[in-house]
A and B are shown apart, each in its own frame.
Chain A
Amino acid sequence: MAKPAWSERTLPLPIFQVDWAALLRFVLAAIVIVLLPMVFDNNYYITIFQGIAVTYLVVLGLNLLMGYTGIASFGQAGFVAIGAYVSVLLGKNFGQSFWVGLLVAPLVAALAGALLAIPAIRSRGPFLVMITTAFGLVVWQVASTWAPVTGGPMGISAIPRPTIGDFRFDTRAFYYLVAFTALLAHALVSNLIGSRWGRTLIAVRDAPTAAASLGISVVRWKVGAFVLSAYLAGLAGVFTGYRNPFLNSDSFVVGESLNYLLAAVLGGLGTVYGPIVGTIVLSALPQVLAPIHEYQQGIRGVLLVLVMLLLPRGIAGSIGAFRDLGSRLAGRLHVPRATPWSPTRQQTDGQAEQPILDAQRVSRVFGGLRAVDEVDLRIAPRTIHGLIGPNGSGKSTLVNVVTGFYLPSGGTVVLLGRSIERLPAHTIAKLGAVRTFQTPQLFRDLSVIENVMVGFHTRLRRGFLHHLFRTSAAVEEERQAAARALGLLEYFGLADRALAPAGSLPYGLQKLLEIARCLAVGPALLILDEPAGGMNPGEIDRVIDILLRLREAGVTVLVIEHHMDVIESLCQRVSVLDFGKKIAEGTPQEVLNDPKVIEAYLGAPTGGVGEAASR
C-alpha cells in the first residue's frame, strides 16, 4: 500500500516538543502579573487582582471537571471552605505556618473530593449536580454550626499574614504569591489537558461506554477529575483563608458555588482560556454594578440564563481566536512519521488448540424475556467467527455479556483461560476482548488520530506526574503513540483525515475508525457488531478487504452481521441464534443451507410466501 505523500510532511499536533508559543504566552502572562500592581498602585486594586487569582484557581478546576469531564458541580465552595478552614485552623490551633497549611489543606480538600465522588458519580446527570449542591450546603452548615472551632458566622479573626523569616507578605506580596500560584496551576493543568490525561477525560465525557470498551476505567477517571478540581478549590481556599485577617462562614454559601459556575460557563467550558475570561468578567461585575449593587445577584442570575440561552459555549468558546488558541489541535509542531502498523498474530505458541473464547451455557434474562438462553460459543484462534440470526435473536446481548457490559444471568465465559463473566467491561478489554458498537461510538470532539490514541490507553505507561510536568519521557511516549496511530490509520486508509474531528467523518468511515481504534488496543479477540451495517456497497467492500487482511495476519474476530455475503466471504465458522437459543453452527455453507436456519429467517416452509414475508 503506497503511503500518502503528506505523511512525510510535518503535521500540526500540539503535544510534542517544547511549545515555544505557549512558553511565550507564559512569559507574557508573568510580565503582566508583575506589572499590574505597579500600574494600578493602590491596595484597592491589588486586592481585586488577588481575588481574580484566587477565583481563577477554583474556576480552572471546575472547567476541568465540567468542561473536559462533563461532570457539573454546584458545590465547589465546599472545597474552598475546607481549604480555608483547615489551613487557618492549623495555624490558629496547632501553631503551624501558612506554608504547612498550603501543603496540607488542599490535600484534605482533595480527599473530600474523592469521598464525594463515590456517591456523586454513581448518580447520573442532574442527580449528581444535586449531590454536589448538598455537599456545598453540608460544608457551609458545619462551618456555621461548629462555632467553637470555626467561629461560625462570627468568624475567626486576627489571622496573621504569611511570613518567610522576617519577610511578611503584605497585600502586594500576597498578590504575587497567589497570582504566580495561579499561573503555575494554569500551566500544569494545560499540560494535562494537552496530554493523554485530557484525551482520556474527553473520551470519558463523549462516549463513556466506548471508553470502557477500550480498557478505560470510567469511574477512576471521573474520580480523578473530581479530586483534581477539589484540590485546586482547596488551594484557592488556603489563599481565601489568609487573604484577610478575618474569616467567617458567609464566604462559602451555595451562592458562591454558583458564582464559580457562572465564571466557568461565561468564559467557555472546555476551553483553555475560558476560565480566565470568565473569572475576570465575574470579578469586574461588582465594580461595574456598584451603583446598583442591590440588584447584583439578580444580574448574575440573568447572566447565567442568557449565557445558557445565547452563548452556551461561552465567550472563549464563541470567539474563534480564543478557541483556536486553546484548542488541543492547534499549534504547529510536528508528528513524527507514521510507524507502519501490521496486525499481531495472537497465541501461536503451543496453545493452538485452546479456544480464545469459551462461553458455556450463557444466559441473560430481562424480566421474563430470555434474551440469551444457555448459549455455548467457542472461538478458535486465528479464525473469523460469524454470529448471525434474525433481529432480536440475542446477538448483541450475547456480545454485551461477553464484553462485560451486562452481567450474565447464568453460565461461564472464559477468555484465554481466564474466567471473565463477573469482570467489568474495562478489565475484559484489558484482558483482550475488544468490541465495536452497532452505531459507532466515537469520541466526537477528539480528532481521528486521537481516537486511535485512546485505543493505546492500556499500553501507555507514563502516569499523572509525567504528564503534569510534561517530562521528556511522557512527550516521547505520546510521540510514539501518535506515530503508531498514524500507521494504523494508513492501514485503514484514513490517514488523510487524521486531524479531522471524528464526529465530522461520514458514517462509513466512522465505522472503519472504530475498528481501527479497537485494533490499537491489540486485542486477542476483536468483536465487531455489524461492521457493514448502514454502509454502501463500496464501503462494504472496503470492510471485507480489511477484515480479509486481518484474517491473513491471524487476528481472531467475532463478527455479527446481517449481510450474508460478508459472512460467506469472511467466516470459517458461523453460529446462528434464534429467540436467544443457538440453533446451528458450522461453516457458512452448512449453516446457510440448514433448514432450521432458513426457517428462522423466512418462516416455516409450510407457511408459504405470505408468512415468510411477514416475518
Chain B
Amino acid sequence: MDIVLQFILSGLALGAIYAVVAQGIYVTFAATRTFNFAQGEVTVIGAFLALSTIGFLAGPIGVTFPLGILVGLLGGALLAIIIERVAVAPVSGGPERHEWLVSTAGVAFILLNAMTVIWTRETVRFPKPFGEQVIQFGPAGLLPQEVFVIVAAVVVVGLLLLVLERTQLGRAFRAVAFNREAAELMGIDSRWMAVGAYALSGALAGLAGSLVGPITNVNAYMGLNLLIKAFIAAIVGGIGNPWGIVVAAILLGIAEAGLSYAIGAWREAALLALIIIFLGVRPNGLFGRAAVEKV
C-alpha cells in the first residue's frame, strides 16, 4: 500500500503540471475552437527563460526563482500572442479544418530550432530552489519542489476558474465559447477574446515550464510529450469542462506514476496506447456527452 500512496503523491505533482498546461488548451479552444500545437514548446521556453533569468541575476535562489517564474510566464504569454496573430488568426479554412494545426505545428519546429540554437540540445540542470530534502507524508515522500508545484497549480487553476465563473470578463469569455456570433452581437470583440485566450494559455504554459523545470530539468525536446499529455487531459476531461480537465490531468499523472513503477520505460507507450483505446470507446471523454449534430 505504501507504494500506492507514493505514486498517488508523485502522480499528483505530475498531474498538477498537466492540469496547468491543459487549462491553456481549454481556454484557447473554448474561445476560438483552436489550440496551439506548439504549446509544449512554449512550456519548455518558459522553463529556459526562468533558467536564464536565474542564471543572469546570479542572486540568492529565493529571490531569483520567483523572478524566473515571472519571466517565464510573461515570455510565454508574449510568444502565444505572436503565435495567435501570425499563425492562427490569419490562416484560412476555419477551426473545423486542419490548416491552423499545420501552421502551429510549423511554429513548434521553429521554436524547437530556436531553443537548440539559443540554449542547447542537451538536458540542462535546473537549480533546486527548495533543496532536495524529501518531505515525508507517512510512508511516502515528495520533493519540496513537487509539493510546491501541487500548491501552485491549485492556486493558479483555482484563480482561473474563479475568474471564469465569477467575473464579467469570465462571463464574456463563456459567452464567446458558447456562441461566438451571438456574443459578438452583444458587443464582445471575439478577436480580443482570442488574443486574450492565447495570452492566458501562453502564460499558463510558461508558468508550468518554470514550475516543472526543477523537477525534470530542462530539455528542448520535452515539449511534444507535455503537449500530448496536456491534450489528453483536455479531451479525456471533456474539452468544454475545466473541472473535468483537472480531474483527468490528476488521473493521468497517477496512472503515469503507477505505470512507471510497474513497467518502467514502457509507461509512455502503454499510457498513450491505453488513451487511444479509451478514446475509441468514449470519444467525448470521461464526462462528455455526445453532441447531437444538427442536420
Contacts and interface: CB of A to CB of B under 8 A. Distances in A.
A133 B228 CA distance: 8
A303 B103 CA distance: 9
Nearest to B273: A138
Interface in B72-126: 86-87, 90-93, 95-103, 105-114, 116-117
Interface string B131-159: 00000000000000000000000000000
A69 B131 CA distance: 54
B109 A261 contact: no
Interface residues of A, number: 52
Contact of B109 (A123, A258, A400, A405): A258
Contact of B117 (A209, A294, A405): A294
Contact of B105 (A74, A125, A142, A437): A74
A308 B86 CA distance: 11
Given A119-B277, A130-B231, A304 B106 contact: yes
B228 A130 contact: yes
Contacts of A66: 98
A119 B280 contact: yes
Contact of A300 (B109, B111, B114): B109
A116 B279 CA distance: 11
Among B93, B106, B235, B277: residue with most chain A CB under 10 A: B106
Contact of A129 (B93, B98, B108, B114): B98
Contacts of B163: none
B105 A258 contact: yes
Residues of B in contact with A, size category? 35 or more
Given A297-B113, A298-B113, A304 B103 contact: yes
Nearest to B280: A119
B251 to A, nearest CB: 17
B269 A145 contact: yes
Nearest to A308: B103
B35 A138 contact: no
Interface string B33-52: 01100000000000000000
A305 interface: yes
Contacts of A72: 98, 101-102
Interface string B208-222: 000000000000000
B276 interface: yes
Contact of A125 (B96, B117, B232, B281): B96
A308 B91 contact: yes
A265 to B, nearest CB: 6
Interface string A117-153: 0110011111101110111011001100100000000
Given A137-B224, A145-B269, A294-B117, A312 B109 contact: no
Contacts of B268: 137-138, 141, 145
Given A72-B101, A125-B95, A437-B295, A308 B280 contact: no
Interface in A219-274: 254-255, 258, 261-262, 265
A255 B109 contact: yes
B58 interface: no
A97 B280 CA distance: 36
Contacts of A405: 293, 295
Interface in B189-212: none
A254 B272 CA distance: 14
B272 A297 contact: no
A301 interface: yes
Interface string A263-306: 00100000000000000000000000000001111111111110
Most chain A Cβ neighbours within 10 Å, of B107, B114, B272: B272
A406 interface: yes
A396 B224 CA distance: 45
A309 interface: yes
A396 B294 CA distance: 10
Contacts of A94: none
B266 interface: yes
A301 B108 contact: yes
Given A119-B277, A119-B279, A126 B34 contact: yes
Nearest to A213: B295
Contacts of A305: 86-87, 103, 106-107, 110
Contacts of A299: 113
Contacts, number: 146
A309 B92 CA distance: 7
B292 A265 contact: no
Nearest to B271: A138
The B interface is mostly helix, strand or loop, or mixed, namely helix
Interface in B236-295: 239, 265-266, 268-269, 272-273, 275-277, 279-281, 283, 292-293, 295
Nearest to B29: A126
Nearest to A128: B98
Contacts of A125: 95-98
A129 B101 contact: yes
B109 A304 contact: yes
Contact of A122 (B110, B232, B279): B279
Given A134-B272, A137-B272, A294-B117, A312 B228 contact: no
A261 B104 CA distance: 13
A44 interface: no
Contacts of B108: 258, 301
A446 to B, nearest CB: 18
B98 A302 contact: no
A133 B103 CA distance: 15
Interface string A199-210: 000000000010
Nearest to B281: A119
Contact of A123 (B92, B228, B279): B279
Most chain A Cβ neighbours within 10 Å, of B86, B95, B268: B268
Contact of B269 (A142, A258, A262): A142
Contacts of B266: 145
Given A145-B266, A304-B106, A406 B292 contact: yes
Contacts of A127: 235, 239, 279, 283
Contacts of B295: 209, 396, 400, 405-406, 437
Contacts of B103: 304-305, 308-309
Given A138-B269, A145-B269, A301 B276 contact: no
A151 B95 CA distance: 41
Nearest to A133: B228
* Interface pairs A-B: 10 shortest CB-CB: A304-B106, A301-B109, A119-B280, A298-B113, A301-B110, A72-B98, A308-B103, A305-B106, A141-B269, A122-B283
Interface of A: 66, 72, 74, 116, 118-119, 122-127, 129-131, 133-135, 137-138, 141-142, 145, 209, 254-255, 258, 261-262, 265, 294-305, 307-309, 312, 366, 396, 400, 405-406, 437
Given A119-B283, A294-B113, A297-B109, 9 more contacts: A116-B276, A141-B272, A261-B102, A301-B106, A301-B111, A301-B113, A304-B103, A305-B110, A406-B295
11 contacts: A118-B280, A119-B276, A137-B224, A296-B113, A298-B114, A301-B105, A304-B105, A305-B106, A305-B107, A308-B91, A406-B292
